[in-house]
Structure formats: C-alpha cells, structure tokens
Amino acid sequence: MMQQVDIGSRVQLRKAHPCGSDEWVVYRLGADIGLRCVGCGRQVLLARSELAKRLKRVLSSENTIQKDYE
Ligand SMILES: [Zn+2]
C-alpha cells in the first residue's frame, strides 16, 4: 500500500530523472498524480498505481512544504 501523499509532498522515486534528481513535488492529486521534478522543474502525470510502483519514499508531507523549488 502506498504512503499518503498530498499537494506539496516531496517524494523520492526509485529511478532518477535524466537531469540527475530523484526528488519530486506533488502538485496535483486525482486519478493521476502530478509530479514536478525538483531538479529541472519538469512536470509529469502518473497513474496512482504507477506512482505506487515507482515510489521509494515520501520525504516530507504537506505540513512541511519546502519552498526552495519555486
Ligand atoms: Zn528532472
């Protein structure tokens, strides 16, 4: 079962993005989860089931939003 994520959650995926970062920030929740790469700002949509497979861990939750990616 997948860990809970919210808008603003910072998550780490099993496979790093080509830019070298493996951290993403959740910007959209729904049937698909929107993730923005912390390294390059690229936005992607992943189905929940796909995210569950790729998710390594949740680094921070909603109440500890980090603003350094803006
Ligand atoms: Zn990237």
Note the pLDDT tens digit of each residue in 57-66: 999 865 555 5
Give me ligand 1 centre to Cα 1, in Å. Answer: 26
Give me ligand 1 centre to Cα 2, in Å. Answer: 23
Where does the chain show beta strands of DSSP type E? 10-13, 23-28, 32-37, 43-47, 55-60
Give me ligand 1 centre to Cα 39, in Å. Answer: 5
Give me ligand 1 centre to Cα 66, in Å. Answer: 17
49: DSSP letter: H
Note the pLDDT tens digit of each residue in 19-52: 999 999 999 999 999 999 999 999 999 999 999 9
Residue 70 has pLDDT above 50, yes or no: no
The pLDDT value given to residue 2? 67
pTM of the full predicted structure? 0.80
Q: What is the residue extent of each domain of the chain?
A: 10-58
